Structure 1
Amino acid sequence: MNVRAILAEFLGTLLLVLFAVGSAVLSGEFIQTVGIALAFGLVLVALCYAIGPISGCHVNPAVTLGALLAKRIDPVNAVGYWIAQFAGGIAGAAILYGIAKSVPGLETHGKFGTNGYGSRSAVHISQGGAFAAEVVLTFLLVFVVLAVTHRMATAPLAGLGIGLSLTVIHLVGIPLTGTSVNPARSLGPALFAGDGALSQLWLFIVAPLVGGVLAAVVHLVLYPQPAVEIVVAEELAPAVD
């Protein structure tokens, strides 16, 4: 098990939740949807280049699942990544919660950067619509990650491509569900937001994982793979491939 990579995934997911979700919680009324989308994308670009050479910068259980199915990471490290990502998401949300509670008048109960459907969606999207949206949006993210970090791709620009895709995903998804596409990003804030967020949390764990599986399948069809090869975690990093 690659301990350095697992620690990097913990730190990366913590920072993603703290700064990206933090943009919605602390600055949402000032920067609006476009600003929040850019925050998510730019944080991910920075993380890709900062921890990509160490862990591949998955910072997302759906990405790790896609990488596992595409034989980019072995099962033992994948489990370590998942544990680190969920722990990092909770830790990042805890720090954000502490900061938010120090702001007079800032409401943390209910939303707190969480995802939702029905009355918890800006456009009141249905449960089925939310599930479909999260599957499709996550498919795009995971497919882009796998594609731009493939040996055939131009590696130095991989982090930029991944961050831009997450920005576009949030521009579309924020009005629909608040945009999860990342179970770890959804779990942390939901734990601090209360019952409404927790009751809908299952969708934002299951749907992104389904999207990750579909992305891996399509990637395997479009991109030729070695007959037998398990690529170590670091080889998903933009600076390596």
Structure 2
Amino acid sequence: METIGPDVIDVWSWKLDMPPPDLGASTEFLSADERARASRFVYDRDRYRFVAARSGLRLILAGYLGLSPQSISFDYGANGKPSVAACGACSIRFNLSHSADLAVLAISDRYELGIDIEEIRFLKEDIAKWFFSRREYETLRSLPADCYLDGFYRCWTRKEAFIKAHGAGLSLPLDSFDVAFDKAGESRLERLEGDPDPSGHWIVLDLATPVNFAGAVVAATGGHDVRLRYRDDDFGQMVSLASTI
């Protein structure tokens, strides 16, 4: 198994709009359940992107685990968070997110984590009122008009990444925690009900994204500083390696 270590979280990204020949080869890596899920998509584009996301996930995990992509199986916790099933002493943690034609994957062998990426689009309604905490909503409303959209997506992706890292899913009330997202301040978890020192337990990191996306990574590092190590350039090499396993 490839070791990552305590100081970094690996981040991979890849495009989901694959041409049909690549799609056909990628389908070979999927489980029967995943192929069944793919077949249920009404629109071709959604099906292609699902296959590209799941096959990319399997290819990358295979490189870390020394397994073939198709041999990996997943367990899902009570709230739907996936983990690698029946992997002996494996301690690999991962989280996948995708939006539009872009997928991102965060991997650690130490920390529970979550990642989120979102394509920035115009907001048709004030959804922050329903999904942000009171403090977050007030902070967002205080921003200049030309900073509102950027602030919304910074907050949204950090909240989503934290929910995924926490593992409680939708059972975690969205107003039970606050994330900082003012550009003038540090990225951090400011409040979590029941935790007197949330910023000492959780780290919030901004994800480097294309200009029309926003993203974040959250990890339970217990106060240990970590950085993101971007592996984009290694994706082609990982695909070639997986095909030989």
Query: Which protein has the bigger helix share?
Result: 1
Query: Which protein has the bigger strand share?
Result: 2
The structure with the largest alpha-carbon Rg is 2
TM-score range, shorter chain: under 0.3
TM-score by length of 1: 0.28
TM-score by length of 2: 0.27
